[in-house]
Structure formats: structure tokens, C-alpha cells
Chains A and B, each alone.
Chain A
Amino acid sequence: MYNNIVSGVFNMCVQNKISCLRFNFRGVGRSTGSHTSGKGELTDVKACIDFLINDKNIEKIIICGYSYGAAIGCSVVNFSEKIIGYCAISFPWDFMGSKYKKFSQTKKPKLFIQGNRDTIALYENFENHYNFYFEPKKYKIINGADHFYSGFEENVVQEVSEFYNLITK
């Protein structure tokens, strides 16, 4: 369940009394099943959304995904009207294939966070991918950060926090 960025965002939410859910995809940690190259994992995110809406009566959901979690998580943005937007941290468009770019298209608010030294979610292609998306959208380039954001966790968390405040006020 630990990752420096995911834990940073989760802890920020808890400290600021923001409700949050994090989970392990199928085949990871104590989650059952095995990896399915995306198809099953999209279902995993939908299962979490169903749980929040049907079991917990949650009224609004903001998706925040990092790397693979951005590609998969943000791709279900149109699954429910209760999803009000997403924050994609290092969306690996080139690595994951074009279908996730298409799935994550939406007119809901979006924030893209990108390191300018990222060689997995390629920084040099960021602008091209970003321009594909409808408004409203924002981006933040973290100067000096690669895909793993070591030493830049606070910068990322701050951006996510500001985005939350912006779209929930």
C-alpha cells in the first residue's frame, strides 16, 4: 500500500480531514486475482466507485492517479456523474497506449502534474498530449523531478491539495 506519492496524497487528505480511499489493484498486496494488463484494473476502479456511491452514499468523487494509476483511474472519469474531475500525476500516455488517452477525455476539471526530467511519462511529449484534452484543464510542471518525484513529494501534494480546494469550493 506504500508509495511515496500515493502515501503523500493520502496523508495530506487525512491531515486536512478530506475523505479518501486508496486501494491495491488486483494481484497487488493482499488484493486477490492477477494482473490483466488494464481491462480488469479498469473494473477495479469501477468497483471502488460503486462501493463509494452505493455502500457509503458518497456524493462527489475526485480521482487522483499516479503513473499507471493515472492511466487507469482517469480512464473511468465518465463512469459516473458523481466523479467531478481528476488529477493525473505523470500520466504515461506513450507507455500505456492511446486508448487510455481517449478514455480519459472529459469536459470535467482536470489537473496534470508532470516532472520535466521524466523519461517514462515523457516530458518532451507532454504538451502534445495535454493539448488533446478539453477545457477545463490545468497543468503543473515540477522542475527537476523525474517519474519518481524523490524529494519533490511535497510539491506534488501541494498541487493536489490546491486542485481539491479549487473544484470543491
Chain B
Amino acid sequence: MHNIDKIFIETNEIKLEAEFFQLKKIVVLICHPHPQFFWV
């Protein structure tokens, strides 16, 4: 079973919904297409 953390990354301005899986000190940061530009 993989341990994926459902988290919010907070700044002074906003909270970003995120999912984080950590085992090592190298991370792939994955950026979504934006729904406003992604008409599917």
C-alpha cells in the first residue's frame, strides 16, 4: 500500500490542494493542464 499524503500547501495568499508521495530526496513536481484551457 502506497502512502500518498493529501495535503494543502499554504502561502499568505492561498491554499493549494496537493498529493505528495515521498520516499527519496528527489521529487518529480507534476503540473496539471488548466481546466480553463483544457476543453475536454
Contact = CB atoms under 8 A, between A and B. Distances in A.
Contacts, number: 168
Contact of B35 (A17, A28, A33, A64): A28
Contact of B15 (A9, A22, A32): A32
Residues of A contacting B: mostly: mixed
Contacts of B14: 26, 31-33, 40, 44, 47
B31 A66 contact: yes
A61 B23 CA distance: 13
Given A21-B18, A35-B36, A69-B33, A62 B28 contact: yes
A47 B29 contact: no
Contacts of A23: 9, 16-19, 31-32
Contacts of B22: 19, 56
Interface in A1-41: 1, 3, 5-6, 9-10, 13-14, 17-26, 28-33, 35, 40-41
